[in-house]
Structure 1
Amino acid sequence: MKEILCQSAFFGVAISLASYGLGMWMKSRWKLAVFNPLLVSTVVVIAALAVLRIDYDSYYEGAHYLNYFLTPSTVCLAIPLYEELQLLRKNWRAVLAGVASGVLASMTTVFLLCRLFRMDHAVYATLLPKSITTAIGVGVAEELGGLPTITAAAIIVTGIFGNVAAEGICRLFRIRESVARGIAIGSASHAMGTAKAMEMGEVEGAMSSLSIVVSGLLTVLCAPVFAGML
């Protein structure tokens, strides 16, 4: 059985889609943020590989085909932004200031924590792009001398946390302005946070989509500067 699964080119795709579908069903059934489909699918896939004793390379042989959908799906987030273009023109100064603040806060926090725990440069460079989309963050980490695979994991964890906690944090700090909520979520937790922002409202989704792009660009520009600080 194990040999058949390992030799199948579609095993990785099948188990990934099936586990994600399970997560979607659980979230619709119980309406709890903890049943985030990506979180559920991650746990299920890891458990399945451990029980079946299938190594990651065999799983990735088929699952890597899903990566081809990453970039176009990110680009599609421009659609809600286009629909709220008039709002963007009206608030562009606040949008830029908010996204820039989010990017600087993220990288400054990584810098301070790495100094506090005496992390080496490789770990520091790995974590710097944790709050931007995987399509950009992995490349940034690789250029700075980080570990791209760990960066991908950090980005996923950041996105899942943003998706699960975004609404509660906005409620806790009484952030009611739609533009502000969208910018905060998008600049902190990229596409996965944006999925939650779209559930919160059209304006939140549009501003969060914009924040993904601007955050990515600002991180590409600022990360080399921060990387030289440690």
Structure 2
Amino acid sequence: MNEILSSTPFLLFLVLASYLSGTYIYTKSKIALLHPIIISIAIIIGVLKWAGIDYETFSKGSYMIHFMLGPSVVALGYVLYEQIGYLKGKVLSITSSIIVGSLVGIVSVIWICKLMGVEHSVIVSLEPKSVTTPIALSLSAKSGGIPSLTAITVVICGILGGIIGPFILRKLHIKSRVAKGLALGAAAHGLGTAKAIELGAVEGAISGLAIGLMGIMTSLLIPLVENLFYK
């Protein structure tokens, strides 16, 4: 029985079924806290605990899902190409927005953690919280951080950004489709982009662009900011 539960077909089915279940519950309830990702995570953890399956076995069995992340990111590039007209005359504003967003994300973590007396390894683990997971894990490891803490933080930021982001944008009366996409992609990476796509094709395309630009900018700025704070 354990061999069946730890097999690749079952684990792939578990991931897909849990997400579809989460989507169904979220669609029916319309409750923001019942986000499909939150529900699917809870279902997967519960099943893995019940079946006694460790994370390494789950990771190997569901490798196909991880592999598909690459093509999905490339697909965002095609969506951006279709909406390329919205970028004309906005290169400077987009670039400056990404720079400011990256700086605020890094510096706010350092200041808050320093005020609370948090140790350095935790600080560098939280610094790349607003970039996509592969880049965040790489930056965290190179800075002496804790990759597992970074991964959890990135997921939490993505979920909160996807849930709260649209509400904040509405309250601030932000109407620009480009601004909405930039905000969600820069602050909440992949999960923010998923929400941006729900808002519209332009928002989704710009949000996908923000993910890439935010990753590059954060990679460049983290070493510079750390040199200023830890001289």
Q: Give the corresponding residue for 1:20.
A: 19
8 Å CA contact 2:5, 2:51 repeated in 1: no
Instruction: Using the TM superposition, give the Cα deviation of residue 216 of structure 1 relative to its aligned residue in structure 2, in angstroms.
Output: 0.7
Could you tell me the TM-score, scaled by structure 2's length?
Answer: 0.91
Q: Give the corresponding residue for 2:156.
A: 157
Whole-angstrom CA distance in 2 between matches of 1:84 and 1:57: 40
* Percent of pairs with identical residues: 35
Whole-angstrom CA distance in 2 between matches of 1:33 and 1:73: 24
AA at the equivalent of 2:151: A
Q: Give the corresponding residue for 2:194.
A: 195
Q: Give the corresponding residue for 2:60.
A: 61
Could you tell me the TM-score, scaled by structure 1's length?
Answer: 0.91
Stretch deviating more after TM superposition (141-150 or 215-224): 141-150
8 Å CA contact 1:144, 1:227 repeated in 2: no
Instruction: Using the TM superposition, give the Cα deviation of residue 64 of structure 1 relative to its aligned residue in structure 2, in angstroms.
Output: 3.3
8 Å CA contact 1:71, 1:135 repeated in 2: no
Whole-angstrom CA distance in 2 between matches of 1:152 and 1:102: 20
Residue deviations 1:176-229 (CA, integer Å, cap 9, x gap)? 221211111111011110111111122211221111111110011011123343
Gaps of 5+ in 1: none
Q: Give the corresponding residue for 1:106.
A: 105
AA at the equivalent of 1:118: G
Q: Give the corresponding residue for 1:121.
A: 120
8 Å CA contact 2:19, 2:36 repeated in 1: yes
Gaps of 5+ in 2: none
8 Å CA contact 1:11, 1:63 repeated in 2: no
- SS for the counterpart of 1:22 is helix
The list of structure 1 runs, each at least 4 consecutive aligned residues, that deviate by more than 6 angstroms after superposition, is: none
Whole-angstrom CA distance in 1 between matches of 2:205 and 2:55: 36
8 Å CA contact 1:16, 1:45 repeated in 2: yes
Instruction: Using the TM superposition, give the Cα deviation of residue 29 of structure 1 relative to its aligned residue in structure 2, in angstroms.
Output: 2.3
Q: How does 1:56-95 map onto structure 2 within 5 Å? A: 56-95=55-94
Cα distance change of structure 1 residues 69 and 29 upon mapping to structure 2, 3 Å threshold? same
8 Å CA contact 2:196, 2:203 repeated in 1: yes
Q: Give the corresponding residue for 1:52.
A: 51
Aligned pairs, how many? 229
Cα distance change of structure 1 residues 9 and 178 upon mapping to structure 2, 3 Å threshold? closer
Instruction: Using the TM superposition, give the Cα deviation of residue 65 of structure 1 relative to its aligned residue in structure 2, in angstroms.
Output: 3.4
Whole-angstrom CA distance in 2 between matches of 1:104 and 1:23: 34
